[in-house]
A and B are shown apart, each in its own frame.
Chain A
């Protein structure tokens, strides 16, 4: 059974279409990163998955309809939707007590264990904690819940680099065990590139790109072309071209053992692009052309 399965997911706020027919399948045990410009529909998609917003189309999360079964679903699903959504008046000890009271899968000892590694006091109110500490606290609570799906919407927004690094480190080391599924949206793509198993780009309510990180590394090639070779390189049909340090950087989508790929190494410096570069190429392209090239948007399906 897929962890998340969506078909033709649509959602409009008045005339503004937030989700425009999203098809998505996330298998259990994957770590999916969703990237997209502001207003691309990422948060709306996550809200639909979490039962926070009504939608049209078909959606199943762990076999349940999130909109009608949110409270039941939340025994198996956790989410951090933003930093600083913890109620500001609550004390740390009260928070732990409350979650232990209402959540059948919360392990109080585990949460206490995570918190002893921080400088957070049990008697403090959330309003007295720094932004980074609130994120640590929320993560400690969430990681102590034995959930099957964890959804993180911009979990590290506004945190400094040390907290961000620590956040993803403890997520990977102390939480992820290959049977759990994690879905993350963020603007800080580079920081989670090595955390992900799958990546997906959204733009204007649609999934414009999606593939596994293995596919990503084997298929996409970035070539810094020598000036005299630009014409030859362009003949191999790059799907994006940009200028960097006075040289042309061309992006290709090629099979690992194709003849074109061997030819490329003669044209310049070949390397795997960063997710950010691919994101600019794909989303920038689709914004420019408005209709994305099907080759750029492989299936809109994440395996």
Chain B
């Protein structure tokens, strides 16, 4: 073809046409992610609302804080710290639970809603590949939501700390002892580690599976296809072989490997062995899971190309 013959005058359009390949790939990705946030505001509204409600409840409970501190001083240091840190861990848990629910619903709907309202015909009229679109949708539960969860949790915990300090100081009690028990930095590092290893790396195949189903099934069938095949495998395995390897595998993948991963703030310990980042990164289960997730995403991109609007 002879594009040279079309003597288009030099303009900013041409500058962007000739932009480096990296920018050509990242620009559509960046805008596709923003597009997801415009459409699905629950991604940030839900955890913000949960944080607001929790802070309100915490504020009410604040009236009992001085009494509680007095009672605690009778306990040994371990129990003391545990009792003080509890509300902070609960805040992190609430954020994570909220995010998990939103992420699940998001993924089950992400590639379905654009077919349902036929807007896929508009999105496909733009130079954005199916792969970029699917990756941008996958990045919501795997990148955006974990980062949001850490940020909102840290801010929430910081506000809790400030509120507690103010109340304690108002009652003429030692703020320093309280602060010594609550290590925000350690808690947020723990939370980040937990989110990255469990919610991102281990849960990736589940999100990818949900995305695949949302791009393939339609209507209520999405819920059926998302949950019935795994359930069917579990039941058949149980009836035929009288084993439950698949169920155990799913369970350990969901919980992140160690059945008893403690709440962020302490390093997770797997029974019988140290749960170190090195050990985690070398475990074949992690990489098999990620490979399966990548295959699901690849299939989801294929389906997006093939499937007609509903």
What is A's interface to B at a CB cutoff of 8 Å? 1, 50-54, 62-63, 70-75, 78-82, 84-91, 94, 97-99, 101-105, 107, 138, 146, 179
Contact = CB atoms under 8 A, between A and B. Distances in A.
Interface stretch (B53-61, B116-124, B146-154, B257-265): B116-124
* Main secondary structure on A side of the interface with B: loop
Contacts of B6: 179
A297 to B, nearest CB: 29
Q: How would you classify the secondary structure of chain B's contact residues: helix, strand, loop or mixed?
A: helix
Contact of B125 (A53, A74, A89, A104): A74
Interface residues of B, number: 35
Contacts of B132: 71
Given A82-B118, A87-B114, A101 B27 contact: yes
A289 B244 CA distance: 66
Contacts of A81: 121-122, 125
Nearest to B24: A104
B31 interface: yes
B308 A105 contact: no
Interface in B1-59: 1-2, 6, 13, 16-17, 19, 24, 27-28, 30-32, 34-35, 38-39
A105 B15 CA distance: 10
B39 A87 contact: yes
Contacts of A85: 118-119, 121-122
Contact of A87 (B32, B122, B128): B122
B126 interface: yes
A98 B33 CA distance: 10
Nearest to A53: B308
Contacts of A138: 122
A98 B34 contact: yes
Counting chain A CB atoms within 10 Å of each CB, the highest count among B27, B38, B308 belongs to B38
A127 to B, nearest CB: 10
B5 to A, nearest CB: 10
B82 interface: no
Interface in B126-182: 126-130, 132
Contacts of A52: 121, 124, 308
B123 to A, nearest CB: 8
Contacts of A90: 38-39
Interface string B87-128: 000000000000000000000000000100111011111111
9 contacts: A53-B308, A82-B118, A84-B118, A85-B122, A89-B39, A94-B38, A102-B28, A102-B127, A103-B127
Contacts of A179: 6
Nearest to B17: A104
Contacts of B130: 70-71
Nearest to B16: A104
A190 to B, nearest CB: 27
A104 B35 contact: no
A65 B123 CA distance: 19
A89 B37 CA distance: 12
Nearest to B41: A89
Of listed A78, A103, A105, residue having the most chain B CB within 10 A:
A103
A82 B32 CA distance: 23
Contact of A102 (B13, B114, B128, B308): B128
A79 B308 CA distance: 16
Contacts of A97: 31
Nearest to B124: A52
B305 interface: yes
A90 to B, nearest CB: 7
Interface in B236-287: none
A70 B114 contact: no
B306 interface: yes
B42 to A, nearest CB: 12
Given A54-B306, A85-B119, A89-B39, A74 B13 contact: no
B309 to A, nearest CB: 8
Closest 4 CB pairs of A and B: A101-B31, A71-B129, A87-B119, A74-B127
Contacts of A53: 308
A84 B121 CA distance: 10
B306 A86 contact: no
A71 B128 contact: yes
B133 to A, nearest CB: 9
Contacts of B24: 104
Contacts of A104: 13, 16-17, 19, 24, 127
A61 B94 CA distance: 53
Nearest to B38: A94
A200 to B, nearest CB: 22
A153 B123 CA distance: 16
Contacts of B123: 87
Contacts of A70: 124, 129-130, 305
Contact of B1 (A62, A80, A87, A98): A62
